C-alpha cells in the first residue's frame, strides 16, 4: 500500500513563491514512493498566525485519515509562534496518527525523548528570529525618522501589483 502524504508549504509575503518548497517536497515524496494527496499552501506570517486556518484544515484532514504523513520544508514553515504552539501542533498530528516529516530537519522523525527537546529549541529559535527581524525593521524605520527621511508609502505612490485586502480587514478587526 502506498503511503498517502500531504505537503505543507508556506511563505511569509506575497513577494515570495511556494513553488521552490513545493518542488522539493514533491521530489522527496516521489523518492520515497509516497502518493501526494493534498497540498496546503499558505502565503502569510506564521508569527502573526496567518497560517492557522489552513493548519486547522490540515489537522481536520489528518483526523479524517486523508493522509498518513505531513511533509514539511522545515518546522519554522509550520509555525513561528513559539515552543508551546509547535509542540501542541506536533502532538495534535501525532494524536491523529500522522507523522510529520521535515525535509530540512530529519531529527523531527526520530522517536523518543530527544524529539521534544530539539523541537522546543528549534521553535524557540524560529520565534526569536522572527521577533528580531521585527525589531530590526522598527529600528531602521526609527533611524529614517531621526534622519528626517520619509517613512512609509510616499504621496502619489502607485501599486505595481494588486494587493490582498484580507490583511487590512484583519488588522482593522483587531484594532477594535
- Tell which wins on pLDDT, 69 or 149: 69
Mean pLDDT (the chain) is 80
Q: How far from the centroid of its chain's Cα atoms is residue 96's Cα?
A: 20
> What does the block give as the cell for 49?
498566525
CB atoms within 10 A of CB 151: 12
- What pTM did the predictor assign? 0.64
Tell me the per-residue pLDDT of 111-144, one tens digit each, with 9 for 90 and over.
667 666 766 776 677 667 767 777 888 888 888 8
Per-residue DSSP letters for 66-122?
Answer: S-SEEEES-HHHH--S-HHHHHHHHHHHHHTT-EEEESS-GGGG--STHHHHHHHHH
- The span from the CA of 8 to the CA of 40, in Å, is 5
Q: In this predicted structure, what is the pLDDT of residue 28?
A: 95
Encode pLDDT of 6-26 as tens digits: 999 988 777 778 889 999 999
* pLDDT score, position 114: 66
Tell me the CATH architecture of domain 4-123.
3-Layer(aba) Sandwich (3.40)
End-to-end Cα distance, the chain: 52
Q: What is the mean pLDDT of residues 99-109?
A: 81
Amino acid at each position: 500500500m502506498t503511503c498517502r502524504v500531504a505537503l505543507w508549504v508556506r511563505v511569509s509575503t506575497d513577494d515570495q513563491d511556494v513553488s521552490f518548497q513545493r518542488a522539493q517536497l514533491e521530489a522527496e515524496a516521489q523518492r520515497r514512493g509516497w502518493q501526494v494527496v493534498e497540498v496546503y499552501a499558505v502565503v502569510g506570517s506564521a508569527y502573526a498566525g496567518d497560517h492557522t486556518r489552513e493548519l486547522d484544515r490540515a489537522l481536520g484532514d489528518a483526523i479524517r485519515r486523508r493522509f498518513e504523513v505531513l511533509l514539511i520544508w522545515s518546522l519554522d514553515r509550520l509555525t513561528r509562534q513559539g515552543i508551546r504552539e509547535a509542540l501542541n501542533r506536533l502532538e495534535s498530528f501525532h494524536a491523529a496518527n500522522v507523522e510529520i516529516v521535515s525535509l530540512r530537519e530529519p531529527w523531527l522523525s526520530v522517536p523518543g525523548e530527544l524529539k521534544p527537546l530539539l523541537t522546543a529549541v528549534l521553535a524557540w529559535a524560529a520565534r526569536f528570529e522572527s521577533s528580531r527581524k521585527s525589531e530590526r525593521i522598527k529600528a531602521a524605520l526609527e533611524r529614517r525618522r531621526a534622519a528626517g527621511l520619509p517613512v512609509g508609502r510616499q504621496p502619489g505612490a502607485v501599486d505595481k501589483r494588486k494587493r490582498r485586502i484580507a490583511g487590512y480587514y484583519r488588522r482593522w478587526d483587531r484594532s477594535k
